[in-house]
Amino acid sequence: MELRDGLLYSKEHEWLKVEGDEGICGVTDYAQDSLGDVVYAELPEVGKKIKQMEPFMVLESVKATSDVYAPVSGEIIEVNEKLQDSPELVNSDPYGEGWLVKIKLENKDELNNLMDKEAYAKFLEEEEK
Amino acid sequence: MTKLIYELSRPGKRTYIPVKKENISSKFPHELLPSKFIRKKKAYLPEVSELEVVRHFTNISQLNVGVDTNFYPLGSCTMKYNPKISEYITQDSQFKDIHPYYPEKFSQGALEILYETASYLEKISGMDKVTFQPAAGAHGELTSLLVIRAYHTANGNPRKKVIVPDSAHGTNPASSALAGYEVIEVRSNEKGMVDCDHLRELMDEDVAAIMLTNPNTLGIFEQNIKKIADLAHEYGALLHYDGANLNAILGRVRPGDMGFDTIQFNLHKTFATPHGGGGPGSGPIGVKSHLVKFLPVPHVEKKKGGAYFLNYDYPESIGKVRAFYGNFLVVLKAYIYLRILGERGIFETSAGAVLNANYLLGLIKDKFDLPYNERYMHEFVVSTKRYKDKGIKALDVAKRLIDYGFHPPTIYFPLIVKEDLMIEPTETEDREVIEAFADALNSIAEEIDKDPDLLKEAPHVTPVGRLDEVWAAKHLILRYEKTEN
Ligand SMILES: Cc1ncc(COP(=O)(O)O)c(C=O)c1O
């Protein structure tokens, strides 16, 4: 499983890349692998208010339909329109072209609830047991 | 690949249809029907000869895999054998040709069958009243939730939430949402059962119902069921039994005695009626006495003198959920099945189902991972996790089983187990079949070590190889459209 430096990770397997008071969010390599081939991304509307740890959008794979949880609270300011036609980007490039949404952060303290790369790697080990 | 019948079509091809002249109306449709019902464009129907029709459908039928051709251990679906005598009897014109608009006095036999089958199901489930209107298990779930909503509404507040386990079948949350409820998920504990502490945290006066199946979708009996029922009732919530797994406990314990208030039966699972193809489904529901007045109308009832009638006089009923009285011929097949088995046979059914599942598990458990080391009932869940390093997934094992002549088990359900095979052999298979299937799984496990590509490229013996599921999901084509040529 690929993990990247400089990202924050949630227990529900989302990653967040913080830039100023904005964050780009996607799902991790581990998440895309357990989801299986993604066939549809039900993206939220720009302007939607989301709350940390609550589901805010849905990814549909050949196996199942799964909620994606908000790594932080805030407002959706951009969604990855490319996923409308090419949801498979979530599988092929989860940390890059397969990003999901851009979030305007509401409360930076919430970032303390997320894990860094090392902590997430440990968390995954536990999950796999 | 087989051509579509439309692709066989050639202009002017006809089949001889013998008709009596006097039965034919000499009027054209537009003389008989209001113009809004008349189609503007000619219907596009295939033009083929009788022989072509026969060959076409016979050839397609030979590509089909069913319980009548292969072992079909599809977990959660109870693919038991459907006795042919049921087909034989339902083809009798006394059953087949009656119409729901017949007056009651000419329909006494049919009404008696509905009444009697309901009374059997009431006895089996420990419920007070059964209706046959819902046309599938999922429809029965929805109908039960509408009854539950009517009950709470009559008590002054329909409430807001329905709790389902994280191991639940997708229809449980879907039916809850359709009935206007917010879905809340309760976690499973390390034994694969409902986490009662988490459930207690989730409970409040806004919870309308908890939906459970018992044994659950892992095939494990919820040992805390009494505690769960008490917890639900303490908050005024009702408990719904998803009857998908009723086969495991048939004649042994009754959902009504466990504290459930409503149940949906899947006649096409537990009661050996066809799963589609052979006819429509049936998902009757049963309820405890305090909910009877909310059931769909009409109820089939019996007068003092013994005559059966349809009673519409239930002003608090949720109304109708389907035309007439349910899929009558399917109910008739369940009735025949129950009459063949009798009380003793029903009691033995669940024993056979549990024995077959556990014997099979015992034969394969060294080669696959067991996510929960519990006592399993009529089905069990194993995982192919240990083969991940070889690049093998549950899907590959399932596809390879086709080459061995078996229908694959359910895979990737329940969602809480990774790379799982969910296997339900049912009681209608004999020992040799169970052993042959175990041999196949064990030999596939050996193939993974020797030649994993054999699995990745499976199936090899089918008319088409591995299908591209992603492409199919993204390019959904639901009907044939004529392309100009
Ligand atoms: C556990 C469970 N609940 C409900 C259903 C829904 O039943 P039906 O397919 O009759 O709508 C199924 C069907 O497979 C099931 O397995």
Q: How far apart are the first and last CA of chain B?
A: 20
Position B23 confidence tier, pLDDT thresholds 50, 70, 90 = low
pLDDT above 90 (res A1): no
Ligand 1: which of B74, B76, B220, B377 to mutate, most ligand atoms within 8 Å of CB? B76
- Mean local confidence (pLDDT), B198-202: 98
Position B477 confidence tier, pLDDT thresholds 50, 70, 90 = confident
Residues of B in contact with A39 (CB under 8 A): 470, 473-474
Helix (H) or strand (E) holding B163: strand B161-165
Q: Are residues B255 and B404 part of one domain?
A: no
Q: Are residues B365 and B279 part of one domain?
A: no
Position B481 confidence tier, pLDDT thresholds 50, 70, 90 = confident
Q: Are residues B413 and B354 part of one domain?
A: yes
pLDDT above 50 (res B33): yes
Beta-strand relationship, A38-42 and A55-61? antiparallel
Q: Do B415 and A64 touch (CB under 8 A)?
A: yes
- Provide the pLDDT for residue B388: 92
Of B418, B469, B474, the CB nearest to A34: B418
Whole-angstrom Cα distance, residue B479 to residue B485?
Answer: 18
Cβ atoms of B86 and B333 within 8 Å: the answer is yes
Find the residue in A nearest to B417 (Cα): A34
- Provide the pLDDT for residue B470: 85
Kindly give the number of the ligand 1 atom that is closest to the alpha carbon of B168: 1
Compute, in angstroms, the gap from residue A4 CA to the centroid of ligand 1.
41
Q: Are residues B359 and B321 part of one domain?
A: no
Its sign, for the CA torsion A25, A28, A34, A38, is positive
Its sign, for the CA torsion B390, B422, B418, A31, is positive
Domain end: B340, B363, B378, which one?
A: B340
- Mean local confidence (pLDDT), B455-477: 91
- Provide the pLDDT for residue B277: 56
Q: Do A62 and B474 touch (CB under 8 A)?
A: no
pLDDT above 50 (res B289): yes
Q: Are residues B31 and B122 part of one domain?
A: no
What phi and psi, each to the nearest 5 degrees, are found at residue A6? 80, 5
- Mean local confidence (pLDDT), B333-357: 97
Asked whether residue B485 is domain-assigned, the answer is: no
User: Into how many domains does chain B fold?
Assistant: 3
Asked whether residue B72 is domain-assigned, the answer is: no
Compute, in angstroms, the gap from residue B448 CA to the centroid of ligand 1.
32
Domain end: B299, B318, B340, which one?
A: B340
Cβ atoms of B87 and B301 within 8 Å: the answer is no
pLDDT above 90 (res B482): no
Cβ atoms of A64 and B415 within 8 Å: the answer is yes
pLDDT above 50 (res A124): yes
- Mean local confidence (pLDDT), A94-119: 96
What is the domain partition of chain A in residue ranges? 8-106+115-128
Residue B208's SS3 state is strand
Distance from the A40 Cα atom to the nearest Cα atom in chain B, whole angstroms: 8
- Provide the pLDDT for residue B278: 47
CATH code, domain carrying B388:
3.90.1150.10
Q: Do B470 and A62 touch (CB under 8 A)?
A: yes
Q: Which of A4-13, B22-31, B198-207, B407-416 has the lowest mean pLDDT?
A: B22-31
Q: Do B412 and A40 touch (CB under 8 A)?
A: no
pLDDT above 70 (res B7): yes
Whole-angstrom Cα distance, residue B266 to residue B248?
Answer: 13
Q: Are residues B328 and B407 part of one domain?
A: no
Residue A63's SS3 state is coil
Q: Are residues B159 and B275 part of one domain?
A: yes
Domain end: B340, B375, B406, which one?
A: B340
CB-based contact (8 Å) between B474 and chain A? yes
pLDDT above 80 (res B20): no
Asked whether residue B74 is domain-assigned, the answer is: no
- Mean local confidence (pLDDT), B57-68: 92
Find the residue in B nearest to A41 (Cα): B474
Specify the CATH architecture of the domain A8-106+115-128.
Beta Barrel (2.40)
One-letter identity of residue B416: I
Q: Are residues B145 and B100 part of one domain?
A: yes
Q: Are residues B239 and B357 part of one domain?
A: no
Asked whether residue B273 is domain-assigned, the answer is: yes
Q: Do B469 and A62 touch (CB under 8 A)?
A: yes
pLDDT above 60 (res B372): yes
Give the pLDDT confidence of A63-104 residue by residue, as tens digits: 888 899 999 999 999 999 999 999 999 999 999 999 999 999
Q: Output DSSP code: residue A115.
A: B
Question: What pTM, to 2 d.p., does this model score?
Answer: 0.90
Q: Which domain holds residue B40?
A: 5-61
Asked whether residue B478 is domain-assigned, the answer is: no
- Provide the pLDDT for residue B26: 73
Asked whether residue B195 is domain-assigned, the answer is: yes
Q: Are residues B354 and B327 part of one domain?
A: no
- Provide the pLDDT for residue B34: 92
Q: Are residues B459 and B385 part of one domain?
A: yes
Q: Are residues B167 and B291 part of one domain?
A: yes
Q: Do A39 and B412 touch (CB under 8 A)?
A: no
Query: What's the mean pLDDT when you consider all of chain B?
Result: 94
Whole-angstrom Cα distance, residue B354 to residue B375?
Answer: 10
Asked whether residue B69 is domain-assigned, the answer is: no
Compute, in angstroms, the gap from residue B169 CA to the centroid of ligand 1.
7
Give the pLDDT confidence of B80-89 residue by residue, as tens digits: 999 999 999 9
Cβ atoms of A111 and A72 within 8 Å: the answer is yes
CATH code, domain carrying B154:
3.40.640.10
Give the pLDDT confidence of A22-70 residue by residue, as tens digits: 999 999 999 999 899 999 999 999 999 999 999 999 999 988 888 999 9
| Among B residues 402-441, those touching chain A with beta carbons less than 8 Å apart | 412-413, 415, 418
